[in-house]
């Protein structure tokens, strides 16, 4: 070969070698995608059962008994009620005085607020009480005086039904101021009524719940209700809970 042909061959070989070094590698066939890992849903929180608890929420508790129950029990122990009950407000769960709830793993009565207005009438009732501390062994009064305080309606047109979970009601009015025993339920038209007891309590941990329910005397329509709670200081002393 002459010099010119040799030079052209060298240039061609160099071009081929340079092209091979700079060529990008071919992309792999297709694209491989890793499967998505599903997210684990957050656990739904639920009440943590207390060891030995009979409930974790209010729905686990129901009234004990059919007529005028005085305590609450687990729903699993509920009995079938197929009897007629007297139409009076005689217990702490009657006439909206309270509901069953769960407190510290135990079914218990949750008293309603001191003033419970009727949705229909808009009447609000509270109970005025005096003295705030009482014992039948050291008192000049026959008992704790109780009187309904009504707003949004006329007290003169209402009948008031009283009930208590312990003790009894008394009347002590002019002109002779004779003490009359009325029992654990009583009715009046808004005048002062008294609560007292004679026997010492066997459980100072169980408070006394007093309930008054007002109804319209003419129509019988419920106007509202209120409660007052008495706590035991000892077996023969009570104090009005504020």
Asked if residue 158 is part of any domain, the answer here is yes
Domain span at residue 73?
52-78+89-111
Question: pLDDT category, 3, cuts 50, 70, 90?
Answer: low
- Bond from prior residue into 131 cis (ω within 30 degrees of 0): yes
Asked if residue 237 is part of any domain, the answer here is yes
Helices (H) and strands (E) in the chain, counts: 1, 16
Handedness of CA 199, 202, 203, 209 (dihedral sign): negative
Is the confidence at residue 115, as pLDDT, over 70? no
What is the Cα–Cα distance from 153 to 146, expressed in whole angstroms?
Answer: 19
Q: Which residue has the higher pLDDT, 87 or 75?
A: 75
Statement to judge: residues 119 and 106 lie in one domain: no
Statement to judge: residues 129 and 220 lie in one domain: yes
In the chain, how many domains are there? Answer: 2
Contact 50, 104 (CB under 8 A): yes
Instruction: Spell out a b/e string for 190-224, using b for 16 or more CB atoms within 10 Å of the CB, else e.
Output: beebbbbbeeebeeeeebbbbbbbbbbeeeeebbb
Take residue 162 and report the two structure tokens written for it.
């009283």
Statement to judge: residues 182 and 64 lie in one domain: no
Asked if residue 180 is part of any domain, the answer here is yes
Q: Which residue has the higher pLDDT, 41 or 185?
A: 185
- pLDDT tens-place string over residues 198-233: 999 999 999 999 999 999 888 888 889 999 999 999
């Amino acid at each position: 070969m002459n010099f010119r042909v040799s030079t052209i061959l060298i240039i061609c070989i160099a071009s081929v070698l340079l092209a091979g070094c700079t060529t990008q590698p071919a992309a792999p066939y297709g694209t491989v995608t890793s499967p998505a890992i599903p997210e684990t849903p957050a656990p739904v929180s639920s009440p943590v059962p207390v060891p030995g608890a009979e409930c974790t929420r209010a729905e686990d508790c129901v009234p004990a008994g059919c007529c005028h129950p005085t305590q609450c029990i687990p729903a699993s122990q509920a009995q079938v009620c197929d009897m007629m009950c007297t139409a009076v407000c005689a217990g702490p769960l009657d006439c909206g005085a309270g509901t069953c709830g769960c407190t510290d793993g135990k079914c218990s009565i949750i008293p309603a607020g001191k003033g419970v207005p009727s949705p229909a009438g808009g009447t609000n009732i509270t109970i005025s009480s005096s003295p705030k501390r009482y014992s039948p062994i050291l008192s000049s009064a026959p008992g704790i005086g109780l009187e309904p305080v009504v707003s949004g309606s006329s007290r003169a047109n209402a009948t008031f039904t009283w009930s208590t979970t312990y003790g009894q009601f008394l009347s002590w009015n002019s002109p002779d101021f004779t003490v009359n025993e009325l029992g654990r339920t009583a009715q009046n038209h808004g005048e002062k009524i008294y609560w007292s007891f004679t026997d010492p309590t066997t459980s100072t941990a169980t408070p006394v719940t007093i309930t008054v329910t007002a109804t319209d005397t003419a129509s019988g329509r419920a106007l509202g209700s209120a409660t007052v709670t008495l706590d035991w200081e000892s077996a023969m002393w009570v104090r009005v809970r504020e």
